[in-house]
Amino acid sequence: MKKSERAELVLHRLTELYPDPPIPLDHTNEFTLLVAVLLSAQCTDKKVNEVTPALFRLASTPQKMAKVPVAKILEIIRPCGLSPRKSKAISELSKIIIKQFDGKVPQNLDDLESLPGVGHKTASVVMAQAFGVPAFPVDTHIHRLAQRWGLTNGKNVKQTEADLKKLFPSETWNKLHLQIIFYGREYCSARGCDGTKCQICRECYPKRKKPKLTIKA
């Protein structure tokens, strides 16, 4: 099976399973989504969704968040990993958004990536989910599945992102990255599948007998 055929199979199967995948992080506006995605680094979406209601009741806009002491933000988000660094970043980016972007979350990758604590993946998620701009955020889970399905041989998430963007039409990217995440959690997790067990892995490589080792992102 050619790579393009595997890509077509993946898209078809994921669309069947997840025709309208929800955004897994609870939010009410672009700013709360940005904060939630920032918090999700090295933390589960479930834990983020447990933590953010208290934070967003306190401050759901940059203007309100900028007035909250860093120590208070830290107190609320402590259950998330890297909380000291994240609390400082949330405070600082709120002030920068007010000062440099008229109090609104910027709508382009370069400006988003200039904010404290916001890397390429976080910026891509915000572009895709808040503004509907085609983007393909790649985390370690998508990186793992893309390798298992023979869609990339990239040694890092940057190369995997480039390969996936070449394989799939841009109008599918925003939904597809969520579909892959949901599939990875439900059927093709790091421990639950080794590249030979789940439906898509078996269909992509029916003759594969040995586990597919993932090149770490």
Residue 217 binned pLDDT confidence (cut-offs 50, 70, 90): low
Instruction: Calculate the CA dihedral of residues 197, 202, 205, 209 and round it to 10 degrees.
Output: 40
Active-site annotation holds for 197: no
- Are residues 25 and 56 in contact, defined by beta-carbon separation less than 8 angstroms? no
Task: Give pLDDT, residue 81.
Answer: 86
Q: Which two structure tokens, joined as six digits, stand for 41? A: 């680094």
For the residues 72-86, what does the mean pLDDT come to?
Answer: 95
Task: Give pLDDT, residue 6.
Answer: 97
Question: From the candidates 64, 67, 121, 165, which is the catalytic residue?
Answer: 121
pTM listed for this prediction: 0.91
Q: Which CATH entry fits the domain spanning 30-131: 3.40.1360.10, 1.10.340.30, 3.30.420.590, 3.40.50.720?
A: 1.10.340.30
- Are residues 204 and 6 in contact, defined by beta-carbon separation less than 8 angstroms? yes
Whether the per-residue pLDDT at 114 is higher than 80: the answer is: yes
Residue 213 binned pLDDT confidence (cut-offs 50, 70, 90): confident
For the chain, give every domain's residue range.
3-21+136-204, 30-131
Whether the per-residue pLDDT at 151 is higher than 90: the answer is: yes
pLDDT digits (tens, 9 = 90+) for 122-139: 999 999 999 999 999 998
Q: Which two structure tokens, joined as six digits, stand for 202? A: 């078996």
Active-site annotation holds for 139: yes
Task: Give pLDDT, residue 21.
Answer: 96
For the residues 198-217, what does the mean pLDDT come to?
Answer: 90
CATH level 2 (architecture), domain 3-21+136-204 = Orthogonal Bundle (1.10)
Confirm whether 3-21+136-204 and 30-131 share one CATH topology: no
Distance (Å, rounded) from C-alpha 27 to C-alpha 60?
9
Question: From the candidates 47, 95, 139, 216, which is the catalytic residue?
Answer: 139
Distance (Å, rounded) from C-alpha 160 to C-alpha 169?
15
Q: What is the chain's percent helix, strand, coil content, to nearest 5?
A: 60, 0, 40
